[in-house]
Homo-oligomer: A and B are copies of this chain.
Amino acid sequence: MIVYLNGEFLPSGEARISPDDRGFVFGDGVYEVTRAVRGQPFAAEAHWKRLETGLRELGIRTSLDSGRILEIYLRLLSENALEDGEATIYLQVTRGRAPRAHAFPPATIQPTVYAFASRFSPPIEQRRAGVNAITYPDIRWSRCDIKTVNLLPNVLAKQKAVEMGGWEAVLVRDGVLIEGSSSNLFGVIDGELRTYPRTNYILPGITRQVVLELAAELGIPAREAPIFVGEMGRLEELFLTGTATDVQGIVTLDGYRVGDGVVGPITKALWEGLMGRLGSSIS
């Protein structure tokens, strides 16, 4: 695999950073995962804008811009023979290497930029069949809107889900179903689609936004509002969204059947709509 690191394209085995990188000692950086279909990154501009917002929030200055990022993405796809079919592209920017001290280093320190592309084959059968999920306490910090690499609580939640035979953990904060450990969450109650509002407690998902647009186009009533734990028994449908999650129906939550225990009609319609937007085949 050929990866990108600080201006160079090189074999992944040769990509090396210093353990003094602030990404390693503080998790001091942000990242994005972008989908590519037949060589074309999807919503690359929206991903770049979110990264740029994160960099600004953290006070990390780079000379990157959306044009340069797109060049890197296209070259990674080409170098790795990923221009047919589908792929995901990972991009991480950290504050760079500096002697360890919490406060920001001098502005002369160069950020570290790392990117790689991998083959992605959407698990069509899993999308149709639905997955099991568990609920798990949302113990994350209160700036979940910034897509940082401080991901330990997400790692622990996902691991717990896997250990329980689930595919994702639905994070619960103050009695509310917030989002997944690496995905946003939507539910259907009384025929109405609900997802947690854009606040500091969720990641502003690109796919989440596309799904809200699709719901409007398809005439599905939708509202950005909390789903309470006390409403779990009334959920008709429940699904996750994300760049590599697409629209993934949940059929059991903590072992209890959600709705009829199959991927419901609204979930299915939004999944098909998203696949259409992506240009991804579902047959």
Contact = CB atoms under 8 A, between A and B. Distances in A.
Interface of A: 3, 5, 12, 15-28, 31, 58-59, 90, 92, 94, 100, 102-104, 112, 114, 139-143, 148-156, 158-159, 161-162, 181-182
A102 B158 contact: yes
B149 A24 contact: yes
B141 A153 contact: yes
A27 B102 contact: no
A151 B15 contact: no
B27 A114 contact: no
Q: Which of A21, A141, A151, A155 has the most CB of B within 10 A?
A: A155
A27 B149 contact: yes
A105 to B, nearest CB: 10
Contact of A159 (B12, B104, B161): B104
Contact of A19 (B17, B27, B158): B17
Nearest to A30: B152
Q: How many copies does the complex hold?
A: 2
Q: Which of A3, A22, A24, A140 has the most CB of B within 10 A?
A: A24
B143 A26 contact: no
A100 B149 CA distance: 12
Contacts of A100: 90
Contacts of A181: 102
Nearest to A114: B19
Contact of A59 (B103, B141, B159): B159
A67 to B, nearest CB: 23
Given A102-B159, A158-B102, A181-B102, A151 B17 contact: no
B28 A152 contact: yes
A143 B154 CA distance: 13
A28 B141 contact: no
A156 B24 CA distance: 16
A31 to B, nearest CB: 7
A20 B12 contact: yes
Nearest to A57: B156
A139 to B, nearest CB: 4
A5 B159 CA distance: 27
A103 B162 CA distance: 7
Contact of A92 (B18, B25, B143, B153): B25
Q: Which of A19, A20, A139, A141 has the most CB of B within 10 A?
A: A19
